[in-house]
Each structure stands twice: as structure tokens, then as C-alpha cells.
Amino acid sequence: MRFKNKEVIIVTGGSRGIGRGIAKVLSQEGARIVVVDINEKDALECVDEINSTGGEAIFIECDVSNEAACLNMMEQAVNAFGQVDVLVNNAGIGGFHKLHETTEESWDKCMNVDLKGVFLASKAVIPHMIERKKRCNCQHLICACAEISKCMCCL
């Protein structure tokens, strides 16, 4: 068990796919998990899976492309667990279109979630991590950026 101190880990985009896998594995390693997503149904299923296997997880609904939502996410996480030790920036969407067929609207949506979302979630969490670092040395930011490349499909 790697997380012997019950570290708290936020996983954005944690309801499905890679994010869900990350959340489940980190829970098995002893971390307390905050599943962050806009997909409530799948996120609650993930939380139920973690909690039913002896882990500890909560769901916080958050659109990572919205700064107020990210600040609220952080506040809820700290209220629930008292701390945040790790942020896994995993939320992402893909365009799945050839570049010349991509609309400006879908491009902007992709950039807002995949890039701006990393910035805003990190911006919301970092002040807490800086304050906690004065007391311990266990804070990390992780970006699971594979999804970003999906916005840049080949011609």
C-alpha cells in the first residue's frame, strides 16, 4: 500500500476510461479519492465501486473549464477530507474530426476542457498545496495528457 497516510487525490475526468482506472488503482493503494466529472451517473458508479471494495471516495461535479466551478471543487474536497495531496488532471474531450472539418466551436470546447481545464484545476489546488507543503512534503500535480492529442487529428 503506497499511500499509508490516506492521502487525498483529486482525479478530474474520473468517471470513465483512464480516469476511472486511475481512481480505482489509487484507491487500492490506500488513497482517498475525489472523483471529479460532469457525468454524475458514471462518477457515482465509480465512487460506489471504490467504496464497496473498502476504499473511500466522493463525487464532486465540476466543469473544469469554469474557474468558479474549480474553486468550488477544491473547497468541497477540503471540506470533505481536510486536505488535498495530489491532483490528477485527466479530464479531456476529443474532437475526432479531421482538422479541416473541425468547427471553431468544437475546437474551442476541446481547448477549454483539455488545456484551460488543466490550468484552472491546478490554479484552484496549488494555493492549498503550497500551504500544506509548509507542514508536509506530499503534494503533486499530474497531467494525463493523452486526450489532448485527439484534438489535433491528422489531415
Q: What is the pLDDT of residue 147?
A: 42
Q: What are phi and psi of 94, to 5 degrees?
A: -125, 150
Q: 8-113+126-149 — its CATH code?
A: 3.40.50.720
Domain limits, the chain: 8-113+126-149
The grid cell for 24 is: 480505482
Eight-state DSSP code of residue 139: -
Q: What is the pLDDT of residue 134?
A: 55
Read off the pTM.
Answer: 0.87
pLDDT tens per residue across span 83-116:
999 999 999 997 677 889 989 998 899 999 999 9
Statement: residue 155 has pLDDT above 90 = no
pLDDT tens per residue across span 17-45:
999 999 999 999 999 999 999 999 999 99
pLDDT tens per residue across span 139-152:
565 665 444 434 33
Contact 142, 101 (CB under 8 A): no
Instruction: Give the mean model confidence (pLDDT) for residues 41-63.
Output: 98
Eight-state DSSP code of residue 38: S
For 84, the 3-state DSSP assignment is coil
Q: Which residues contact 136 (CB under 8 A, 6 or more apart)?
A: none
Residue linked to cell 463525487: 59
Cα separation, 148 vs 25, in Å, equals 23
Task: Count the Cβ atoms, other than its own, within 10 Å of residue 104.
Answer: 7
Q: What is the pLDDT of residue 132?
A: 76
Q: What is the pLDDT of residue 82?
A: 95
Q: Could you tell me how far CA 139 lies from the centroid of its own chain? A: 15
